[in-house]
Homo-oligomer: A and B are copies of this chain.
Amino acid sequence: MEPDAKQRLAIVLIESRNPLNIGAAARAMSNFGFFDLRLVRPYSVAFEEAVSAVGAAELLKSARVFEDVSAAVADCSLVVGATGVGHRVFEHPLHRLERAGRLLRRHVQTARAAILFGSEKFGLSNADISHCHWLLHIPTRAEHDSMNLGQAVAVTLYELSRSPAAARRLPQAAGLATEEELERLGGLWEQALAQSGYCDFGKEKSARDKLRRLLRRLSVSSRDAAILAGMLRQILWKLDSGGR
Contacts and interface: CB of A to CB of B under 8 A. Distances in A.
Contact of A31 (B93, B144, B166): B144
Interface in A134-166: 134, 138-141, 144, 147-148, 150-151, 154-155, 158-159, 161-164, 166
A243 to B, nearest CB: 29
Contacts of A90: 175, 223
A9 interface: no
Interface residues of A, number: 47
Contact of A155 (B102, B154, B166): B154
Nearest to A57: B144
A171 B92 CA distance: 10
Interface in A3-42: 20, 24, 27-28, 30-33
- Copy count, this protein chain: 2
B98 A162 contact: yes
A155 B164 CA distance: 15
A71 interface: no
A139 B1 CA distance: 12
Interface in A206-229: 221, 223-224
Nearest to A151: B154
B99 A168 contact: yes
Interface of A: 20, 24, 27-28, 30-33, 90-91, 93-99, 101-102, 134, 138-141, 144, 147-148, 150-151, 154-155, 158-159, 161-164, 166-171, 175, 221, 223-224
